[in-house]
Amino acid sequence: MSETLTIDHLGAQGDGVAVTPSGPVYVPFALPGEVVEAEVRKGRASRVKLQQAAPERAEPVCRHFADCGGCAVQHLELEAYRAWKRDKVERALQARGIDVAVEPLVACPPQTRRRVTFTARRLGSDILLGFNAAQTHRIVVIEECPVATPGITRALDDLRDLAKAIAATPKPFHMTVTETVSGLDIAVVGAGKLGEKQRRAVVDMALSKQVSRLSADGEIIVEGNKPAVLFGGVPVAIPPAGFLQATAEAENAMAALVAGHLEGCKHVADLFAGSGTFALRLAQKARVYAAEGDAAALAALDNAARQWPSLKPVKAEKRDLFHRPLLVKELADFDGLVFDPPRAGAEFQCRQLARSTVRRIAAVSCNPGTLARDLAILVEGGYRVTSVTPIDQFLWSPHVEAVALLEKKPQRR
């Protein structure tokens, strides 16, 4: 049975939320102020029919929108969309009692996402390659992607050919494609075990399509030349499917904020350092200690630093910061620090930082909730949040990056 619903606000994942006597109802692709007719089950609406559109409703830029599960809010007018993203950060901070003015959202343009993970599946003699529809395992075959770089979009036919060649199972598998300065780096997971004949065919095809590197389940199948990215002009040979900021534009914006805040620091720590996104930039002016739990990423950072003699000394240490954070005594060596943890945040590390004498901290996060929690710990320890800048690294998705800058005045002896 259909119900008439009026949308009150946008939810955290981009759904319209209708407030009803039975509780909130989440309505996909609906906007505040709109009136819809829909069937409701367990708080979610389906078979939605738009009765009254909001003035903020915009025409989606992609033909696959609302079917493909990659984007959530292409239908929202640009300024309202940016305000929603900024508001997500602002609300998370307010919930933790952090009183700081949130800067305007740093926008990232379309066609800049340099890493995309596709789902693929062999279907008889054909191959499906695309993205999963929202909350399903159904693969939506795509012909365009306004988020991805033009280099990835142009390669869609080649990627389908490679997926078909490497598929050794009828089950779905993932293909992560990264555009680097030396070509496409393709990392396949779950495609099945390759036989020798199939492996040779895959190698020949990858070379013919000028793929920089192709790996399967962590094993390098063929590497025509090492995929490399530039971190502040320093070339880094990244590991297969290793962590990389989704867009170079967002990375540069974050790096500029971090570098500006740590300007003048002599000895800097980079925690959850990855392959050197911040460390190699900071090492142009300061000694750097870089800690990272992933051995392959850390090796890429270390090798890049050793081959770039103009950098200040970089010490790289493999360290699981979730279970073995830097202690207060160790932190005494640094006058500046940046941390960029996974979505879970850096709670245990922040508890040590809160007791430290590090003068300046830059906190980078892709999760406003855990960022706010970590900042609250630091504020309780005497730090002052001087600015928070949201960055739209994940265009048209519910996710938002943020960089928070903090200071602690030296204690009088």
- pLDDT for 242 equals 86
Give yes or no for residue 413 having a pLDDT over 60: no
- pLDDT for 1 equals 74
Three-state SS sequence of the chain? CEEEEEEEEECCCCCEEEEECCEEEEECCCCCCCEEEEEEECCEEEEEEEEECCCCECCCCCCCECCECCCCCCCECHHHHHHHHHHHHHHHHHHCCCCCCECCCECCCCCCECEEEEEEEEECCEEEEEEEECCCCCEEECCCCCCECHHHHHCHHHHHHHHHHHCCCCCCEEEEEEEECCEEEEEEECCCCCCHHHHHHHHHHHHHCCCCEEEECCEEEEECCCCEEEECCEEEECCCCCCCCCEHHHHHHHHHHHHHHCCCCCEEEEECCCCCCCHHHHCCCCEEEEEECCHHHHHHHHHHHHCCCCCCCEEEEECCCCCCCCCHHHHCCCCEEEECCCCCCCHHHHHHHCCCCCCEEEEEECCHHHHHHHHHHHHHCCCEEEEEEEECCCCCCCCCEEEEEEECCCCCC
pTM: predicted TM-score of the whole model, two decimal places: 0.93
Q: How do residues 179-227 score in pLDDT, each as one tens digit?
A: 999 999 999 999 999 999 999 999 999 999 999 999 999 999 999 999 9
- pLDDT for 241 equals 83
Q: Mind listing the domains of the chain with CATH numbers?
A: 2-57 (2.40.50.140), 83-109+244-407 (3.40.50.150), 115-228 (2.40.50.1070)
- pLDDT for 348 equals 98
Whether residue 292 is annotated as binding a ligand: the answer is yes
- pLDDT for 82 equals 96
Mean pLDDT of 54-83: 95
Q: How do residues 261-287 score in pLDDT, each as one tens digit?
A: 999 999 999 999 999 999 999 999 999
- pLDDT for 374 equals 98
Active site residues: 366
Whether residue 272 is annotated as binding a ligand: the answer is yes
Whether residue 348 is annotated as binding a ligand: the answer is no
Q: How do residues 341-375 score in pLDDT, each as one tens digit?
A: 999 999 999 999 999 999 999 999 999 999 999 99
